[in-house]
Amino acid sequence: MIHPLANIAGKVKCGEHCRIDAFVTITGEVEIGERTHIATGVSIFGVYGVKIGSCCSLSPGAKIFTATDDPRESLLANPQLQEKYYRTGSVVVGDFSVIAANAVVLPGVNIGESSYLGANSLLKDDLPSGEVWGGTPAHFLFVRAKLDKERMR
């Protein structure tokens, strides 16, 4: 189910029972698994590709970026800088993972299966499966309890 006030542009594929709330912005190439919830105010900028697994949750205000600036575009954040560093890369979110409210995921990051990124965190490194990370920059907090995946489906 996609809310009529969601702003979706580009190639977006959604699995069964996927829910996208109002005021969500999705651009670029994004693949969303089944039974995944994208809450209000989430922004996904997927020009370099985003793959979100099944049974995931992106809480209100979460953001996923696949580029800090796209050097192929003429509209850059600060075109006066000649030697600017660009970070680009696809983002993968594993099944049963959660990106909490207002968390930011930077380009080229992989979030493992059954992982949790805490609220207001900034993730710039890969988050291994089954771990809980939080903070700015995000760092390891503890190992998440194992989920019974068959019961969750």
Per residue in 103-118, pLDDT (tens digit) is 999 999 999 999 999 9
Closest CA to 93 of 137, 49, 134: 49
Per residue in 16-32, pLDDT (tens digit) is 999 999 999 999 999 99
Residue 76 domain-assigned (yes or no): no
Per the structure, the complete domain to which residue 143 belongs is given by: 7-69+81-152
Q: Average pLDDT for residues 56-70, to the nearest whole number? A: 90
pLDDT confidence tier of residue 87, bands split at 50, 70 and 90: confident
Residue 2 domain-assigned (yes or no): no
Q: Could you tell me the pTM of the whole model?
A: 0.86
Residue 130 domain-assigned (yes or no): yes
Residue 17 domain-assigned (yes or no): yes
Residue 61 domain-assigned (yes or no): yes
Contact 10, 27 (CB under 8 A): yes
CATH number at residue 53: 2.160.10.10
Residue 147 domain-assigned (yes or no): yes
Query: Domain count of the chain?
Result: 1
Instruction: Say what the pLDDT of residue 67 is.
Output: 87
